Amino acid sequence: MHYDVLLWDLDGTLTDPKVGVTLSVQYALNRLGYPLGEVDDLDWIIGPPLKESFRTLLQTTDETLLNRAITIYRERYREIGLYENTVYPGIPELLSQLVVKGCKHLLATSKPKVFAEKILQHFSLDSYFSVIMGSELNGQFVEKDVLIAEVLKKVPAGSQSKTVMIGDRRYDVQGARANGIDVISVGYGYGTIEELSVASPDFIVQSVRDLEKLLLFDLV
């Protein structure tokens, strides 16, 4: 299948944010007086909306406490955490090759847009993207289906059949399905194979190399 318009998730798809995200969560939990989890026990928080993760971690529905946790998290994340991040090997080259092929890249991340822009700029990936869309700090566009719908407003009419969402969690699959576009799940991110299999994307690839084969050569 040939795709011309590529919507990309950020965390777990283009970059590995584990260190910055988990340490910033631990920072918030510590400040709030809650026990810290081991970093490896916090992988599951990468992908879902942050408030939902804190709801589980703090075992609360108290909106004031949840918003306080997010505020403290962002104190560390905006200064340090967003740079404790690495680009998956092969991603810059793949983005470049796809641009040469004539594809358009659009970012569709639940991460706040202000942070997503800084990350792409930091890693010199921003020039590949014609649209960089994320959530707002007030929580708008944090749900993936709403976010993708907003991004698709930037896509030329009639190109939906050539449009695909690429992400690592079930939220990406569900968001794509809600908007009637294909979806590729990447197994090298933070969604388990069980999670992705149950979500039932159009394709599951296990590596950046396999993603390259699918997008450039239709070999997967």
What pLDDT, in 10s, does the model give residues 48-57?
A: 889 999 999 9
Question: In this prediction, what percent of the chain has a pLDDT beyond 70?
Answer: 96
Average pLDDT over residues 87-103: 97
| Residue 156 in this model has a pLDDT that exceeds 90 | no
Dihedral sign, Cα of residue 169, residue 172, residue 178, residue 182: negative
**199: nearest Cα among 179, 170, 178, 175:** 170
Confidence of residue 39 (pLDDT cuts 50, 70, 90): low
Point out the catalytic residue in the list 4, 9, 62, 210. Answer: 9
pLDDT band at residue 29 under the 50/70/90 scheme: very high
pLDDT level of residue 37 (50, 70, 90 thresholds): low
pLDDT value, residue 220: 46
Average pLDDT over residues 74-97: 97
Helix, strand, coil abundance in the chain, percent, nearest 5: 50, 15, 30
Active site annotation includes 9: yes
Phi first, then psi: give them for residue 144, nearest 5 degrees: -65, -35
Joined together, the tokens standing for residue 70 give 């997010």
Q: How many helices (H) and strands (E) does the chain have?
A: 9, 8
Q: What is the CATH number of domain 5-16+87-217?
A: 3.40.50.1000
What's the mean pLDDT in 75-102?
A: 97
Same fold, 5-16+87-217 and 18-83: no
Q: Are strands 129-135 and 86-87 parallel, antiparallel or unpaired?
A: unpaired
Q: Please determine, for residue 35, whether its predicted confidence score (pLDDT) is greater than 80.
A: no
Token duo for residue 193? 């194979």
Assigned architecture for domain 18-83: Orthogonal Bundle (1.10)
Domain spans of the chain, in order of start: 5-16+87-217, 18-83
Query: Of the candidates 83, 17, 158, 162, which has an alpha carbon nearest to the alpha carbon of residue 9?
Result: 17
| Residue 1 binned pLDDT confidence (cut-offs 50, 70, 90) | low
| Prediction pTM value | 0.93
Residue-wise pLDDT tens digits, 110-129: 999 999 999 999 999 999 99
pLDDT tens column, 171-212: 999 999 999 999 999 999 999 999 999 999 999 999 999 999
